[in-house]
Structure 1
Amino acid sequence: MKDFSRKIYTNIRLKLKGAFDAISNENIKSNILQAVPFWIASIITGLIAVLYTKMFALSESIRGWIFHSHSWLFFIITPVCFIISWWVVAKFSPYAKGSGIPQVMAAIELSTPRYNSKIKKMLSLPVIFVKIISSLIMTLGGGIIGREGPTIQIAGSIFRKVNEWLPAWYPKISKRIMIMTGAAAGLAAAFNTPLGGIVFAIEELTKTHLSYFKTAIFTAVIIAGLTAQGFLGSYLYLGYPQINALSWWIFSVVIVVGAVAGFLGAYSSRVVLLIQKWKSTFKFQYQHILYLVFCALLIASFAFFFSADSIGSGKDLMVKALFTSEKYTAWYMPVLRITGTIFSFTAGGAGGIFAPALSAGASIGSLVSGWFNLNGSDANIIILCGMVSFLTGVTRSPFTCAILVLEMTDRNNLIFHLMFAGLVASIASLLVDKHSLYHHLKDQYQHELMHEDDEKPQQTAGDIKAGSGT
């Protein structure tokens, strides 16, 4: 009986082993090995995104406390913080300046062994530290910047570094796909918007067909997002604004806010590029410092003489407009938010433009709501459409912008309104420029990297290459 049982057990074991061997072929083993680096990088990205979020919020809280206690101090604090933020970038990692998204786009296009040293300047461990430190200092000083773009460059650096650490015997993973996936995971972790991260990778970062990297990007976005949620909880970036019955006539107002906000978003991008071109003529360090002081004093004046809502990332402004009875903003608020964003972005420190663009769009939507005497949910619709429209004017990615705002608020019944606003904004922005701000900046970074070796002999030892400040 025992021999019979043992024989049956042996037969079953051999059949199971045969089935396992049939499944566990080399392709599947290779796929699993290739997935592991994405999972590890996604977890690290989620953890760092959480830490960065908490540090950013703390910096904004300290800034708010100082402003409400001694607002006049910002005429000193803001210039000091702007100069330090710029110096940290110029000294330790020049390509950590600005948003970070154009750097990621440039790195994706240069992802070949030939340009590995150039990619390293845009995506590396020093970039991560400099990005965080510089942006936190600028936030403390009242800079109108966000953490979302920097999180994308940080995530791209993490994914690239994990790929670099793989041993020689490990299955090869495309550097381009690794960076693209990291950027998508970074956006998902920063905004808690997994669909937005996926759409961003498809619409903004690459023209590559999704089938080539769909598994990697889906798992990375999910893992990074869940890691962030594990520490921050399941949250919406903006919450649940009140949206009641939707009327067809509101689309006429959506057209207005879409055209106005989209045009202004594209035009502000044009101004950024013009300032950048002018700053490229600076030959001495004191010229950069004088420009920084001017930007800082201007922004401090906005806060001191007008409103504290004019500085910072603008999240408080968006929350006030969507969740209080103060739906209408003063006529000057969009001017202050847009102008402050331009001068903060061109100051030379690290800082993103996603949140400032959303807040600028919210102020435009609030202003337009006042023009048409809208209240309650009707005003909320126009405010949200303004956010999508202005961000579309900057990025030229209407679908990504609509999905981001949709996921931030969980207002699924507004999908057609938001997408329509993005479409109108995209058309209006073409009147200003055919390409997005990120596209122009990406080209500039590539040009700088390609001509660095030619320019080095012409530089003097005392010069500090501060770049153009975005």
Structure 2
Amino acid sequence: MPESEITSRYARALAWLDQHLLRQLYTEQVRRLILRSFPFWVASLLTGLMAVGYEKVFSWAEQVSFTWLQQLPPLAFVLTPLAFVGSWALVHFLAPASRGSGIPQVMAGIDLSSPAHYRRTGYLLGLRVAAVKIVSSVVLLLGGGVIGREGPTIQVAAAIFRAINKLQPAGWPRLSRQIALVTGGAAGLAAAFNTPLGGIVFVVEELTQIHLSRFRMAVFTAVIIAGLTAQQFLGSYLYLGYPRVTSPGGWFQVLAMMAAALCGLGGALFAKVLLGLSRYRKRFTTLPQRAGWVVCCGLVLACLAYAIGPAAVGTGKPLINTLLFQNNGHTPAYLFPARFVGMALSYSSGGAGGVFATSLSAGALLGDGLAQLFNIAVADRNLIILVSMVGFLTGVVRSPFTAAILVLEMTDRHSAIFQLLLGALLAQAVAALIDPHSLYEHLKHEFAREALDAPAPSRPTRTVPEVAADVEDAA
């Protein structure tokens, strides 16, 4: 359906709502506020539906990869490189900005939301990019990719909010384009993890430097609507359930903080590895060279998958659940380095896929390994595992409060909140010694330059609300 026809239908529906309901029930000030917020409510509803569908497809793809790897392990040497090439080809030929996590693209889009550059955000956050993002990540996961869906969900959510905000007809109130992308990012994270507070903190800490007063109502309502929509289909669930957490005093608390710091160091080193591989990939300039790199990444991961089995592939969420609820105390030490390599290969192949969930699983494995090293009883390991998850994620994304609040909401373990927060701050301090900037900060600048260098889209005549949005974005 042409965009003009979609806009026309949306405008007619909005006009009907205004004439038959809003003008009859509300004052002019409240009416304008509702009309201004209505696109965000629609986008939040669509984001929740998208997050549910994406989660279902992603879970199916992960289960399929486990099944074929268990039944016929040698298939890894065919299916894994094939999936890597398929995922990369979709990105390379259809939407280059759909590669990787998606969060740096949202950050770059927010930075480019000024009147001079806003039209460039379509390169990063167009609906075509969103569609390729989903398909590419699912293809990669079917072949055993070590990726997550949370970063991609955030990018797709921002694309939805951008598209809906553009539909606001001429003469109607419109919110800032920048706030639209910020709100989309918050709604995406909240719907992906079922963590509304995490979505709000993520916006404040990672996505924007705008003062909270400018977007608090939009973010709060978007998080609530997207989260409730997801819960209608998935139920009121916790991402990781209710693990039993004990907190012995004294030296145990010191050990837990040591684990957080070491995991923060591990996360920072992982980010440096990803950046190094990204720079290395740039030396491949021809299509055969790039395809060869992707095939090599797939073959190395195939070797790991064949040797280790399903534990070496996928999001890592089943591993976290095993460590928290069915820990036998003998998790193999090689799992952490194997998944570390798998994460790096999957991300660096050029396909779509995030590092949020995989970073949490890497932290869980590293924390359990440290607990084994110090002979901590299995019954007391969960606190160290949770703190380590926070530490590793903080080392990668450099958002300590977001990491702590996410793990808190995923497990509902409020008794551990102080350890989680302190562990996050220690991990942040240690990670800053490796690199003062996060992985996302580095990649954000790369995507911003890429968007500015891309062919400029045609510039149609601007409408009154677009001029008003330009004024607000420039403020």
Settle same-fold status: TM greater than 0.5: yes
Q: Deviations over 1:373-408 (max 9, x none)?
A: 112442011111111000000000010000000000
Q: CA deviation at 1:453?
A: 5.4
- Which AA in structure 2 matches 1:303? A
**What is the aligned counterpart of 1:244 among 219, 243, 246?**
246
Q: CA deviation at 1:246?
A: 4.3
Q: CA deviation at 1:185?
A: 0.3
**What is the aligned counterpart of 1:449 among 451, 457, 465?**
451
1:147 and 2:155 correspond? no
SS at match of 1:114: coil
- Which AA in structure 1 matches 2:100? G
- Which AA in structure 1 matches 2:29? N
Match of 2:289 in 1: 287
Q: CA deviation at 1:277?
A: 1.0
State the alpha-carbon separation in 2 of the partners of residues 158 and 192 from structure 1.
Answer: 19
Match of 1:410 in 2: 412
**What is the aligned counterpart of 1:202 among 170, 183, 204?**
204
- RMSD after superposition: 1.7
**What is the aligned counterpart of 1:420 among 394, 419, 422?**
422
Match of 1:438 in 2: 440
Q: Deviations over 1:10-55 (max 9, x none)?
A: xxxxxxxxxx99x944322211111211111000000011000000
State the alpha-carbon separation in 2 of the partners of residues 73 and 320 from structure 1.
Answer: 26
State the alpha-carbon separation in 1 of the partners of residues 250 and 202 from structure 2.
Answer: 29
Match of 1:258 in 2: 260
**What is the aligned counterpart of 1:373 among 359, 372, 375?**
375
Match of 2:232 in 1: 230
Q: Deviations over 1:98-128 (max 9, x none)?
A: 1000000000011023223310011111012
1:185 and 2:187 correspond? yes
Q: CA deviation at 1:330?
A: 2.0
SS at match of 2:434: coil
- Which AA in structure 1 matches 2:419? H
Q: Are the aligned partners of 1:86 and 1:134 in contact in 2 as well (CA < 8 Å)?
A: yes
SS at match of 2:375: coil
**What is the aligned counterpart of 2:312 among 310, 322, 333?**
310
Instruction: Give % identity.
Output: 47
After TM superposition, where is structure 1 displaced by more than 6 Å over at least 4 residues in a row? none
Match of 1:332 in 2: 334
Match of 2:96 in 1: 94
- Aligned length in residues: 435
Q: CA deviation at 1:287?
A: 1.2
Structure 1: gaps (5+ residues)? 1-19, 455-470
Q: Are the aligned partners of 2:84 and 2:140 in contact in 1 as well (CA < 8 Å)?
A: yes
Query: Structure 2 length as normaliser, TM-score?
Result: 0.89
More deviation, 149-158/239-248? 239-248
- Which AA in structure 1 matches 2:152? P
State the alpha-carbon separation in 2 of the partners of residues 41 and 327 from structure 1.
Answer: 45
Q: Are the aligned partners of 1:125 and 1:157 in contact in 2 as well (CA < 8 Å)?
A: yes
Q: CA deviation at 1:308?
A: 2.1
- Which AA in structure 2 matches 1:347? S
State the alpha-carbon separation in 2 of the partners of residues 317 and 255 from structure 1.
Answer: 22
Match of 1:116 in 2: 118
- Which AA in structure 1 matches 2:184? G
Q: CA deviation at 1:182?
A: 0.6
More deviation, 295-304/400-409? 295-304
Q: CA deviation at 1:328?
A: 4.1
Match of 1:211 in 2: 213
State the alpha-carbon separation in 1 of the partners of residues 146 and 84 from structure 2.
Answer: 11
State the alpha-carbon separation in 2 of the partners of residues 155 and 274 from structure 1.
Answer: 29
Q: Deviations over 1:340-384 (max 9, x none)?
A: 111110110110100110011011011011011112442011111
Structure 2: gaps (5+ residues)? 1-21, 457-475
State the alpha-carbon separation in 2 of the partners of residues 191 and 248 from structure 1.
Answer: 33
Q: Are the aligned partners of 2:70 and 2:309 in contact in 1 as well (CA < 8 Å)?
A: no
More deviation, 374-383/89-98? 374-383
- Which AA in structure 2 matches 1:301? C
Q: Deviations over 1:47-86 (max 9, x none)?
A: 0110000000111111111111101101100000000000
Structure possessing the higher radius of gyration over alpha carbons: 1
Q: CA deviation at 1:431?
A: 1.5
Query: Structure 1 length as normaliser, TM-score?
Result: 0.90
Match of 1:53 in 2: 55
